[in-house]
Amino acid sequence: MAPVLPATKEHVRAFTAFVLEHAAESGQDGMPPHALQPDRSGEEVEAVALERWSRPLTSPRWGRAWLLWSGPLPAAGPAGFHDPGARVVGHVELQGGRIGAELHRATLGIGLLSAYRGQGHGRRLMQAAIDWARGEAGLDHVDLGVFVGNDRAKRLYVSMGFVEIGVRHDAFRVDGRSVDDIEMTLALRA
Ligand SMILES: CC(C)(COP(=O)(O)OP(=O)(O)OC[C@H]1O[C@@H](n2cnc3c(N)ncnc32)[C@H](O)[C@@H]1OP(=O)(O)O)[C@@H](O)C(=O)NCCC(=O)NCCS
What pLDDT shows up at residue 25? 85
Q: DSSP secondary-structure letter at 116?
A: G
What pLDDT shows up at residue 174? 83
Protein residue with least CA distance to atom 7, ligand 1: 122
SS3 assignment, position 186: strand
User: Which is higher by pLDDT, 129 or 26?
Assistant: 129
CA distance 187 to 190: 6
Q: State if residue 27 touches ligand 1 by the CB under 6 angstroms criterion.
A: no
Q: Which CATH class is domain 4-187?
A: alpha beta
Ligand 1 center to 110 CA (angstroms)? 10
Q: For the chain, give every domain's residue range.
A: 4-187
pLDDT classification of 78: cutoffs 50, 70, 90 = very low
What pLDDT shows up at residue 30? 46
Protein residue with least CA distance to atom 24, ligand 1: 152
Counting ligand 1 atoms within 8 A of each CB, the residue from 68, 152, 157 with the most, and so the one to mutate, is 152
CA distance 113 to 22: 6
- With a CB cutoff of 8 Å and minimum separation 6, the contacts of 143 are 105, 106, 107, 108, 183, 184, 185, 186
Average pLDDT over residues 116-122: 95
12 pLDDT exceeds 60?
Answer: yes
Mean pLDDT of the chain: 89
Q: State if residue 152 touches ligand 1 by the CB under 6 angstroms criterion.
A: yes
What pLDDT shows up at residue 33? 57
- Taken in order 11, 17, 23, 25, the sign of the CA dihedral is negative
pLDDT classification of 74: cutoffs 50, 70, 90 = very low
CA distance 85 to 109: 26
Average pLDDT over residues 78-89: 67
Average pLDDT over residues 81-85: 60
Ligand 1 center to 155 CA (angstroms)? 7
Q: State if residue 146 touches ligand 1 by the CB under 6 angstroms criterion.
A: yes
What pLDDT shows up at residue 44? 93
Ligand 1 center to 118 CA (angstroms)? 5
